[in-house]
Copies of this chain bind each other. A is one copy, B any other.
Amino acid sequence: MSLIVVGSMAFDAIETPFGKSDKIVGGAATYIAWSASNFTRPVKQISVVGGDFPREEMKILEARGVSMEGVQVKENEKSFFWSGRYHLDMNTRDTLETQLNVLGNFKPVVPDSYQDCEFLMLGNLLPSVQLSVISQLKNKPKLVILDTMNFWMDTAMADLEKVLKKIDVLLVNDAEARQLSSHYSLVSAAKAIMEMGPKYLIIKKGEHGALLFNEDKVFFAPALPLEVVFDPTGAGDTFAGGFIGHIAKTKDISFENMKSAIIVGSAMASFCVEKFGTTRLRELKREDIDNRIHAFKELTKFDIELG
């Protein structure tokens, strides 16, 4: 049994108030795989890259237990490219350039060896591509997690509504939750979104932490207050990777365990933002992760006697 990750493997060029990167390796599925592979292996990747994507990157991921069988390589095309500039608040950004390239006509194919899928992580992509992967699976996974963004709400809402009916956990940020539900209160937004399909909703709030909703239950996860947020690119994907990595490792999809999974995801995201791109994720040791999770425990622990 295994975890499938679907998403882009791509190039990013990033400007922040602290500096500027060259064209570096990025993409939702790249970050998710770097993050999740700390907790569970194999991670079975589904993506598409052009001939320009470094083979070395794929070998490094394979050495970490990330299968590339589902990654199509289009030798004569170019990989997806995004460049953006972050504002001083590091929560908002402008897109400078988007080149869809190989993603423009991506037809994902689920290899036979992936049909043992127990957990499916659908990274942010065209909803029709996400739907295609779900429909190719012969058995329903134990848990399907979907990440999406405002762009698909604006341009592909009908498909997004279809895919929402087929998933268990939706990941969005606070502005997207508001847009998707037409409710300002996140509690009201969560109720409305859970009526659209997902039983669980995770609302990511960047430096303000994350909320997990299920029925009438809610969990508030903190974000680690950081002195320097160097580059937020990929933080949401790294969060998703830690979340699904912990779920796949423990094979426990209870609300209680999802809380732990959110803390793991938050800890991983807190590393991601410390350096450009995937740099910090590549350096991590198990001990670093344990120490960071411990810091999250300390951050929110309190004991109060009532009455």
Contact = CB atoms under 8 A, between A and B. Distances in A.
Interface of A: 88-89, 184-188, 205, 207-209, 211, 218-223, 225-229, 256, 259-260, 262-264, 286, 290, 293-294, 297, 299-304, 306-307
B226 A185 contact: yes
A303 B259 CA distance: 8
Contacts of A209: 208-209, 220, 222
A262 to B, nearest CB: 8
Given A187-B225, A209-B222, 18 more contacts: A185-B228, A205-B208, A208-B208, A208-B209, A209-B209, A209-B220, A211-B225, A220-B225, A220-B299, A220-B300, A259-B302, A260-B303, A262-B302, A263-B302, A286-B307, A294-B306, A297-B304, A300-B300
26 contacts: A185-B226, A185-B227, A185-B228, A186-B207, A186-B225, A187-B225, A187-B226, A205-B208, A208-B208, A208-B209, A209-B220, A218-B225, A218-B299, A220-B223, A220-B225, A220-B299, A222-B222, A256-B303, A259-B301, A259-B302, A263-B302, A264-B304, A286-B307, A290-B307, A293-B304, A294-B306
A304 B218 contact: no
Contacts of A306: 290, 293-294
A186 B225 CA distance: 7
Nearest to A246: B304
Contacts of A205: 208
A187 B222 contact: no
What 10 pairs between A and B have smallest CB-CB spacing?
Answer: A220-B222, A208-B208, A260-B304, A259-B302, A187-B227, A290-B306, A300-B300, A220-B299, A187-B225, A185-B227
A262 B293 CA distance: 23
